[in-house]
Structure 1
Amino acid sequence: MTLEDKLIDLNNMILKGEILQSMDKYYHPDCVVIEKNDVVAKGLQQAKDRESSVFEGVEAWLKSEIKSTAVGENVTMTEWHFEYKHKEYGHKNFDQVAVQHWKDGKIMSDRFYALY
């Protein structure tokens, strides 16, 4: 499976709402997740816990759309558009770029750049 194949599968899992399953499949146990220049999770379990806590408050998922993707040497990127209603954060409608750095077939770091 090529890196491009893995990115396509990862993104399809996300589009189907299989986010935690995609993390189990593709994230390295020692991964880091970075948002707004801060490490927000260290390790797969912490990354999954963080993702779960965000989705607990989602009242309605309105849209997930891939705008573009790119694949380089051990790096992948996806430009997303998301829209949802959250009980704490209100109506969220934004674009985000996710950049993954891969090692040995797994994501070692996942960095999010969001435009709100």
Structure 2
Amino acid sequence: MSNLAKAKELYDMMAQGKMMDAFEKHYHQDCKIIEATGEVRQGKDAQRKALEDWQNNFVKEMHDGGVDAITADEQQNITMVESWTDLTNQQGERLKMAEVAVQKWQDGQIIQERFYYNS
């Protein structure tokens, strides 16, 4: 399966509400996550905790989401995804969040992911 196909599968799983299943399947044990804020998380356990905290402490309700653009450089093992999420946070504010993720793949999983968004 190409990296592009794996990235599409990842986002399809998230759209079906299977964010943690998608994470477990597609992220490498030694992944490095770099937020637009400069925060860096090293390892799958650290990223898992961050995702769980985001779901449990930030998100009150998910309304919709999608992918606007997705592409890959298969020779460099890189995918790039422009996506958005429509949600209500714990304070009751409805937000439409947009980001670009640049993902580097190794052994069929994401080894590094860097996010670009307005923080």
Instruction: Say whether the fold is shared (TM-score over 0.5).
Output: yes
C-alpha RMSD of matched pairs (Å): 1.7
Distance 2:19 2:62 in 1: 14
Distance 1:89 1:52 in 2: 19
Partner-residue secondary structure (3-state), 1:28: strand
Unmatched tracts of structure 1, length 5 or more: none
**For residues 18-57 of structure 1, what are the structure 2 equivalents within 5 Å?**
18-36=18-36, 38-57=38-57
Report what 1:81 is aligned to: 84
**For residues 1-116 of structure 1, what are the structure 2 equivalents within 5 Å?**
1-36=1-36, 38-57=38-57, 58-72=59-73, 73-88=76-91, 90-115=93-118
Distance 2:92 2:37 in 1: 21
- 1:88, distance to aligned residue in structure 2 (A): 4.4
Identical columns (%): 26
> What's the TM-score once normalised by structure 2's chain length?
0.88
- 1:53, distance to aligned residue in structure 2 (A): 0.4
Does the aligned pair in 1 maintain the 2:69–2:82 contact within 8 Å? Answer: yes
Q: Where does structure 1 differ by over 4 angstroms across 4 or more consecutive aligned residues?
A: none
Q: Deviations over 1:6-41 (max 9, x none)?
A: 111111111112111111111110101111252432
- 1:89, distance to aligned residue in structure 2 (A): 7.9
> Could you say which structure has the greater relative contact order, defined with CA pairs below 8 angstroms and 6 or more residues apart?
2
Unmatched tracts of structure 2, length 5 or more: none
